[in-house]
A and B are shown apart, each in its own frame.
Chain A
């Protein structure tokens, strides 16, 4: 078990006033004060001019605070120049086993590459970002672009028309999150923005109806269009739809579906003014230079034809024209090209002890998503193995085992206590042993399981590429601004 604490190393030289003996002055100068203090938050490195605070989990070899608290030089003076007493007191940071260059000790490597999920909260969530975080240990924490390019991997798990899942390996959460944020808020799509209401006698109010129309996914590639500027709708920036439905008097109630929106490739049909000369085209709400039919192979219809827009009773009617324009999700969610885009880190479930026979079966039963499986060991023995770590939902049901046991046995002790009038000491100690965690739930810090659900305008794989492109464009913009 690793202890947690931080070591304050004070390199300041001003001890001379506390030392009378001249022969000790040299020692005192080299003396460094080590203090152990409890640590509450995640790991990190902070520095000030004369103090260096190194925060990390101390290996178990340092679990005797006395050894750390004692200045090294004093011990050396007392024990002669070579400290060779019992191993406990000679423990020092210098005595830690030599690490090969560019390799961190295991406990730090774990903190760097994994998030460990304890029963109450995750630890080491921050990771070590600073390139010089381990400079004092001779380990370089910087990552060059070349290294990124060799380590980065993508594996597609599922790809359908409007939904995909892939593994993105070797990338930091900040970059993965940038992709996710761009997918949701900054990849453009087309959506109905303006509704010209001619007639609406249905029970649904104009503004609610318009809002519903706005949310209908359109089957139009936004890359074919420009953003609308100066409010001049043309065939390059606007798609026009018409909806004209009425429910005849005396007939059944009618449901208006999205499929009834009719695409008008020639632009608006609502006239603003009658033509100045007869024979001239009347002025409408859009000024289309040419038909949109040539722009795309598919008609620019709605993606799903069965979305309910409104219901009409006998004698009610809706007549309107809807104008769709290009926009991004951060302005309004109707322009978001994804239903959701999310990622999760790859779970890693580690059995810290062997689970055999009864324990194994119990463990398999604990997990609601069947992460564990039983392996037959031949001689009639069984052992639990981690079969599907990817399915782990981090419900922590499996690490609650110990806590349950403690409660049960404690209750037993209490009962016994009442009956006998004394506490069973031996039993209580056994309970403490049970509290030791037997399973560790971790997450691999640089392995993301990324899921994209498209609303339909673009296939998910195109959306992801667009998102990456947008990030590149952002960089380019700032570079040119700085030049």
Chain B
């Protein structure tokens, strides 16, 4: 849910239910890296509520768009992390037999 004002779209608070530090802190990081963002931060109003408030203030663009871009960026980062991880695991698995052979030859 977005809390903003009708006249000024550059600053908004996004209330997200069923989320916690996991998403909010990652999004805050991505938002901070965006040059269009003047301020961003998040808070959890009550530890027993499953809710976070993410505040975004921009230098001119609508906060909602910037927020959506940040989430999109985070998704792209996730996809890249998975791709890189897959490759690293495949590399490791293909090198393993070779390494084991080396170990064997050392212990002949």
Chain A interface residues toward B at CB < 8 A: 129-132, 140-145, 148-149, 152-156, 159, 166, 171-172, 174-175, 177-178, 181-182, 185-186, 461, 464-465, 468-469, 471-472, 474-476, 478-479, 481-483
Tell me the complex Cα distance, A143–B70, Å: 12
Contacts of B80 in A (CB 8 A): 145, 148-149, 152
Encode contact with A along B24-43: 1 for CB under 8 Å, 0 otherwise: 01111100111101000000
Q: Which of B73, B75, B77, B78 lies at the interface centre, i.e. has the most chain A CB atoms within 10 A of its CB? A: B78
A-B contact pairs, 10 of them (CB 8 A): A145-B76, A154-B84, A155-B88, A159-B89, A166-B88, A177-B22, A475-B27, A478-B19, A479-B68, A483-B68
Tell me the complex Cα distance, A140–B35, Å: 9
Chain B interface residues toward A at CB < 8 A: 1-2, 14, 16, 19-23, 25-29, 32-35, 37, 64, 67-68, 71-82, 84-89, 91-93, 96
Tell me the complex Cα distance, A416–B82, Å: 67
Flag if A471 contacts B37 (CB, 8 Å): no
Contacts of B76 in A (CB 8 A): 145, 149
Tell me the complex Cα distance, A481–B74, Å: 16
Tell me the complex Cα distance, A141–B86, Å: 29
Flag if B19 contacts A474 (CB, 8 Å): yes
Flag if B88 contacts A181 (CB, 8 Å): no
The chain A residue with its CB closest to the CB of B64 is A482
Name the distance in Å between A477's Cβ and chain B's nearest Cβ: 9
Question: B85's contact among A149, A178, A461, by CB below 8 Å, is which?
Answer: A461
Tell me the complex Cα distance, A129–B33, Å: 7
Flag if A174 contacts B28 (CB, 8 Å): yes
Name the distance in Å between B1's Cβ and chain A's nearest Cβ: 8
Flag if B93 contacts A159 (CB, 8 Å): yes
Contacts of B14 in A (CB 8 A): 478, 482
Flag if B25 contacts A152 (CB, 8 Å): no
Flag if A178 contacts B89 (CB, 8 Å): no
Name the distance in Å between B97's Cβ and chain A's nearest Cβ: 13
Flag if B88 contacts A482 (CB, 8 Å): no
Flag if A471 contacts B84 (CB, 8 Å): no
Tell me the complex Cα distance, A186–B82, Å: 17
Q: What 7 A-B pairs have minimum CB-CB distances, sorted nearest first? A: A156-B92, A174-B29, A472-B78, A154-B88, A475-B71, A129-B32, A143-B33
Tell me the complex Cα distance, A171–B96, Å: 27
Name the distance in Å between B72's Cβ and chain A's nearest Cβ: 7
Contacts of B27 in A (CB 8 A): 475
The chain A residue with its CB closest to the CB of B54 is A478
